[in-house]
Amino acid sequence: MQRNELCWCGSGKKYKKCHADYDERISELKFDVFKGQVRPPHKLINNARDIAGIRAAGVINDGALDLVDTLVKPGITTAAIDQAVHDYIVEHGAVPGDLNYQGFPKSCCTSINDIVCHGIPSAKVKLKEGDIVNVDVTTVLDGYYADASRMYMVGEVSPAAERLVRVTRECMEAGIAAAKPWHFVGDIGAACGAHAHENGYGVVTDLGGHGVGKGYHLEPFVSHDATAGTGMLLVPGMTLTVEPMINEGTWKTYTDKTGDGWTVRTKDHKLSAQWEKTILITETGSEVLSS
């Protein structure tokens, strides 16, 4: 671009006062193709208006999850949780991102015990004492997406279940701490995976985090068991999810294709847990936009 042209990011600023220095820094970097290191395309870089839009969607998304905090208890159906999430998001002028996404029939995912992800809420399924459940919510506001999930322990749970939930959250926080500008996506997975393996757990690798913001599932794919220094370069303005899925036993999973076609379970039917946040890569580190 010419330096006096409007910047490619859509900020409305001249290129020389916006992303010219950024592009110059990118062009000076050397990438190792054998490590899969790649430059992020311009379309993944959010300007200030985009970031404000994702942050606003995140406020509603967090509010929906805060509501779930008050609802989870023995005896509640997962359909009741889904209806509450749906109503909250709509009442705040937004749209549930999961509803009808590639045919998904509900407004959030409720994944209980050995369900890794994509559990479909149902009036036939009641939470019971000792369950652990992940509730995953995505909100779309004015075309911007925010995505987060939380784990809930229903009543008194076993020490093993409590430990899995706690360590999984620690894995997510380790991954977020590793998400730094001018580092690589693989650093996130290296941090998550190391902590999980240190605690004797399996890490799901066929599913992972993703870019999010101006769309639902964008580049890059974020593995939670990866090699540091590999993958896409992380740069200021990128938004993505960190959402490790940690299994009590094997990392292997399967999708229940004979049932609903969505539910992903652990291969050995042992417990699985997941926490997720949407983060923004900043000039100095990262910022959580939805949790």
| pLDDT at 56 (0 to 100) | 98
Does residue 26 sit within a domain? Answer: no
DSSP designation for 111: E
Core vs surface per residue 96-135: b (16+ CB within 10 A) or e: bbbbeeeebebbbbbbbbbbbbbbbbeeebebeeebbbbb
| pLDDT at 258 (0 to 100) | 66
Percent of the chain with pLDDT over 90: 97
The residue length of the chain stands at: 291
Nearest-Å Rg of the Cα atoms of the chain is 19
| pLDDT at 260 (0 to 100) | 86
Model-level pTM? 0.96
At residue 71, what are phi and psi to the nearest 5 degrees? -100, -30
Dist CA 291 CA 287 (whole Å) = 11
Average pLDDT over residues 150-169: 98
Does residue 220 sit within a domain? Answer: yes
With H, G, I as helix, E, B as strand and everything else as coil, classify residue 42: helix
Provide the residue range defining the domain that includes 251: 32-290
| pLDDT at 170 (0 to 100) | 98
DSSP bridge partners of 274: 245
The closest alpha carbon to 18, from 4, 10, 7, belongs to: 7
Strand pairing report for 202-203 and 245-247 = antiparallel
Does residue 134 sit within a domain? Answer: yes
Strand pairing report for 277-281 and 286-290 = antiparallel
At residue 205, what are phi and psi to the nearest 5 degrees? -115, -15
Average pLDDT over residues 169-184: 98
Averaged pLDDT of the chain:
97
> Rounded to an integer, what is the distance from CA 216 to the centroid of its chain?
10
Q: Which two tokens stand for residue 46?
A: 């959010």
Dist CA 177 CA 39 (whole Å) = 21
**CB-based burial label for 66 (10 Å; 0-12, 13-18, 19+):** exposed
Dist CA 138 CA 58 (whole Å) = 9
Average pLDDT over residues 236-241: 98
Half-sphere exposure of 164 (CA within 13 A, CB side): 28
Q: Is the pLDDT of residue 259 over 80?
A: no
Does residue 239 sit within a domain? Answer: yes
Does residue 8 sit within a domain? Answer: no
Confidence of residue 256 (pLDDT cuts 50, 70, 90): confident
Number of domains in the chain: 1
Question: Do 268 and 249 meet the contact criterion of CB atoms below 8 Å apart?
Answer: yes
Does residue 160 sit within a domain? Answer: yes
* Other beta carbons less than 10 A from residue 286's beta carbon: 24
Does residue 7 sit within a domain? Answer: no
Does residue 1 sit within a domain? Answer: no
**CB-based burial label for 91 (10 Å; 0-12, 13-18, 19+):** exposed
Dist CA 187 CA 222 (whole Å) = 10
Tell me the pLDDT tens digit for each residue of 90-116: 999 999 999 999 999 999 999 999 999
CATH code where residue 141 lies: 3.90.230.10
